[in-house]
Structure formats: C-alpha cells, structure tokens
C-alpha cells in the first residue's frame, strides 16, 4: 500500500515536472520576438534515492558570456563607422551634385566676366557680372552654413548620446542592485536586460565590462574611467565649451571627449571636430583665394565712372570663415558701373575683365590648383571619407552579424525546437498521467478487496 502511495507521489511530481517544462517552452515561445531574450531550458534530475522519479532543479538561461562580450567588443567599431557614414551622407547632400553646385556657380561667374570682356561697355553684361558675383558669394555662404549645420547636428547627436549613455549607466547600476538582491532567485530576466543595456552602451562607446561576484557588472570608459561600479552610476555630462559652444564630454569634471575611441560618440566627435572643420577650412581657402585674386585684379582696373583701386568682393581678413562672410562690396552691389573691366579707363577696354575671366584657369589655390580643381578635391575628400566609412561599416557589420548568429545559435529561440519540446513534455505528461491513473486503478482495486474482506 505504501509502495503504491509513493508511486502516486512520484507520478504527481513527474506531472509537475513536465508541466514546468511545458511552461518554460511557453515562455520561450512567448519571447520569440523579445530583443535580447535568452532562451531558457528546464533542468530536470533523477529524484533523490528512495523518492525516485524526477526533480526540477530550476531553469537555466542558455547564455554565452563570451559571445556577449565579443559582440560588445565588435559593436563599437561598427557603430563608429555607421555614425560617420550617416553624418557624411548629409554633408554629401549639402555639397550638391557635381556640375550643379559651387562649381557651376564659379563657371557662371567667370563666364559673366568673359561676356563682359566681349563688350566691356555693356550695362547688361555688367549687371550679369554683379548678379553672378552675388550668386557665387551666396553659394559659398550656403555651403559654409550647411557645413556648420552639419557640425551642429553632430554636436546635438553627441549631447543625445551622452544623455543616453548616462541613462544606460544608471539602468545597469539599478539592475546590478536588483540582480545581487535576487541572487538566489531567478534573475535571468534581469540579466537579459543587463546584457541589452550593455550592448546599447557599447553601441555608443567602447566600454569595458568587468563581471562582479554578485552577478552585477562594473563598466569603465576611455582610460579606465568607471561609469558604473556596482549599484553606483557616474553620470556623463555634455558641457558647453567656448568659443563654439560645442559639447565636451565630461565625467566627474574631467574632459574625456578624446578618450572615447570607438562607438557612435567617437564617430560624431570625429565628424564634428576633425572632418567637418577640415572641409570648411578647404571651402574657406577657395573663397579666400576667389576674393583675393578677383580683388587684386579689380583694384588695378578702372570702373565706368573713372574710379580705380576698388574691390569687387568685400575684403576678408583671413582664410578662416571666408566662405561664410563672402559678399560683394556695397558699391558694386549698388551700381554695376562700379565693376572695373578696363585697365585704361576707356569704356571699351576689357583688359581687367579678360584677366578676371582667365582666373578660371589660374592655379592660385595653394599655388597648384584652380578653383574648380580645389572644389573637386573637396568633393573627392568628402566622397572618399564617406565611402571609406560605408565600406568599413559594412565589413564590421558582417563581423557583428556573424558573432550575433553564433550567439543566436546558443541563445536564440528555435520555434521548431520549442514545438518538439512542447510535444515531448505533452507526451511525457500524458504518459505520467496514465501511470498515475494505473496506480490509482490499482489502489482502487486494492481498496475494493479490502472493503469486501
């Protein structure tokens, strides 16, 4: 009798075990589309000697810490290039299409002087020169402004990235606390969230993660600067720096902007502080040379009113910012008769107009390049930087994808596998139920015999 009762107990525990297995499978299927979810499996063990049957030891997350770490290691390089490629895509658009942007404006400007040279006394040709000069200056202004906008855009992204990184650091610290508090319980859900938060942090910057004995993690950034220590998070701040007002990334009052080597933050910083200033400087150099070269020739000429020594463009102090401030002089803007086309002062003399028109072929930028060459070099530089970033991003993305596939092979949920497990647990439950029923029948038979006796 006691044997049958223990068999009943064994069958009941077995039913519980199979039901638990089915519940784990259900949980896996439920989280099929949950980002960062690591599949769970039930751990069953043979029952204790004497009790027999099956015991549920618990559930285990199929987590591969090495692969998670590898993803965090590869991701910052990919995200850095992604950030650069994204920002430079906007810069490429800002430069306009080849043959339809500043190069076309330069062409039309020198064409206007060429037309003036064909009839130096023509007021229509003079108006054309003023109009094209104004449009050329506006074109320089527009592109300089777009480059500045792109810098401000990158700065805004840096500020957003810093805020996200601080928020994620606080989240990881909070999870650390929760994980250490539930060390004996089921903390796998919290660990999933922890892994996702760390991945998001690695997307922003090249963090270093150190595992703690209590299941938590410490996170450092740059030259080993802690941003998470157990339950404590140290917030990063974006601090305005003069004279540009752009944000420097500070941690505990220390500027760590240049310590961030990889991740989106590093890409945005590179775009804002290195690439875009370089492009703007090249644009300024072209504008500066246009202003100087045209003015030098124009000053040597005589306008229709007999005045000499006047500028065509408003003089600029230096190359820095020349594209931003480039403009016609007020006198030329107001009266096209102020355009000096003549050397001698005779209305038909076109020496100066011809000389300015010939500047289109002059190698005056850096002493080696024409204005068009210099512009094409700037376009090449932006295109080449963007292409390199895109190529690097694709190549690094493939590495991240490969590691992610490896991780998914271990941690991902397979619907077919879960379906098979579901069937397994269902059948096992049915078999155990039959066993329970058989033992119950035997007990009933025994009870009838005992009752009849």
Residue 148's contacts (CB-CB under 8 Å, 6 or more residues apart) are 280, 324
Q: Where are the beta strands (DSSP E) in 223-336?
A: 225-229, 232-233, 236-241, 246-251, 254-255
- In the bound complex, what is the minimum distance in angstroms from residue 428's beta carbon to another protein? 15
The tokens for 5 are: 């009762």
Based on CB atoms, which residue is closest to another protein, 13 or 63? 63
Based on CB atoms, which residue is closest to another protein, 152 or 381? 381
CA pair distance 116, 21, nearest whole angstrom: 89
Tell me which of 241, 344, 395, 402 binds another protein, using CB under 8 A: 344
Is 43 one of the binding residues for another protein (CB under 8 A)? no
69 conformational bin, left if phi > 0, alpha if psi -120 to 50, beta if neither:
alpha
HSE (CB half, 13 Å, CA atoms) of 258? Answer: 2
Is 88 one of the binding residues for another protein (CB under 8 A)? yes
Is 118 one of the binding residues for another protein (CB under 8 A)? yes
Query: What residues from 392 to 451 belong to the interface with another protein (CB under 8 A)?
Result: 404-405, 408-410, 412-417, 419-420, 422-423
**Alpha-carbon separation of residue 393 from 72, 76, 84, 200, 279 (angstroms):** 15, 10, 9, 17, 22
Based on CB atoms, which residue is closest to another protein, 103 or 203? 103
CA pair distance 223, 129, nearest whole angstrom: 57
- In the bound complex, what is the minimum distance in angstroms from residue 405's beta carbon to another protein? 7
Q: What is the radius of gyration, based on Cα positions, of the chain? A: 37
Based on CB atoms, which residue is closest to another protein, 113 or 246? 113
Is 372 one of the binding residues for another protein (CB under 8 A)? yes
CA pair distance 185, 205, nearest whole angstrom: 32
Is 358 one of the binding residues for another protein (CB under 8 A)? yes
Query: What residues from 180 to 199 belong to the interface with another protein (CB under 8 A)?
Result: none
Is 346 one of the binding residues for another protein (CB under 8 A)? yes
Question: Which spans of this chain sit near another protein (rule: CB under 8 A)?
Answer: 32-33, 88-89, 92-93, 95, 98-99, 103-104, 106-107, 110-111, 114-115, 117-121, 342, 344, 346-350, 354, 357-358, 360-361, 370, 372-373, 375-377, 379-384, 386-387, 390, 404-405, 408-410, 412-417, 419-420, 422-423
């Amino acid at each position: 009798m006691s044997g049958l009762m223990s068999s009943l107990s064994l069958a009941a525990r077995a039913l519980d075990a199979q039901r638990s297995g089915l519940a784990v499978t259900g949980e896996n299927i439920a989280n099929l589309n949950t980002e960062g979810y690591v599949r769970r499996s039930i751990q069953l063990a043979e029952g204790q000697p004497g009790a027999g049957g099956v015991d549920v030891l618990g559930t285990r997350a199929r987590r591969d810490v090495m692969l998670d770490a590898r993803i965090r290691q590869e991701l910052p390089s990919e995200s850095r290039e992604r950030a650069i490629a994204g920002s430079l895509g906007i810069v490429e658009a800002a430069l306009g299409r080849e043959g339809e942007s500043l190069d076309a404006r330069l062409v039309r400007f020198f064409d206007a002087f060429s037309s003036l040279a064909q009839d130096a006394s023509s007021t229509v040709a003079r108006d054309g020169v003023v109009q094209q000069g104004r449009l050329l200056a506006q074109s320089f202004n527009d592109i300089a402004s777009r480059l500045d906008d792109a810098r401000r855009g990158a700065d805004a992204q840096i500020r957003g990235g810093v805020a996200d990184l601080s928020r994620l650091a606080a989240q990881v610290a909070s999870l650390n606390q929760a994980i250490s508090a539930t060390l004996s319980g089921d903390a796998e859900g919290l660990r999933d969230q922890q892994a996702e938060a760390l991945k998001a942090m690695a997307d922003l910057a090249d963090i270093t993660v150190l595992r703690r004995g209590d299941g938590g993690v410490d996170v450092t950034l740059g030259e080993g600067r802690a941003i998470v220590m157990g339950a404590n998070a140290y917030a990063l701040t974006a601090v305005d720096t003069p004279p540009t007002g752009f944000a420097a990334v500070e941690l505990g009052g220390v500027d760590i902007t240049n310590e961030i080597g990889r991740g989106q933050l590093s890409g945005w910083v590179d775009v804002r502080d290195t690439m875009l200033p370089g492009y703007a400087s090249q644009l300024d150099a072209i504008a500066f040379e246009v202003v100087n070269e045209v003015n030098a020739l124009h000053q040597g000429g005589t306008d229709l009113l007999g005045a000499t020594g006047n500028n065509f463009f408003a003089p600029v102090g230096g190359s820095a910012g020349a594209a931003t401030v480039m403009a016609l002089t007020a006198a030329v803007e107001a009266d096209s008769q102020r355009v000096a086309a003549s050397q001698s002062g005779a209305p038909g003399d076109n020496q100066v107009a011809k000389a300015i028109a010939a500047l289109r072929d002059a190698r005056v930028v850096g002493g080696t390049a024409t204005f068009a060459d210099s512009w094409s070099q700037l376009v090449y530089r932006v295109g080449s930087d963007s292409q390199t970033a895109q190529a690097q991003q694709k190549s690094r993305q493939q590495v991240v994808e490969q590691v992610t596939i490896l991780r998914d092979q271990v941690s991902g949920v397979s619907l077919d596998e879960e379906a098979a497990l579901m069937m397994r647990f269902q059948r096992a439950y049915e078999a155990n139920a039959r066993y329970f029923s058989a033992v119950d029948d035997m007990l009933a038979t025994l009870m009838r015999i005992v009752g009849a006796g």
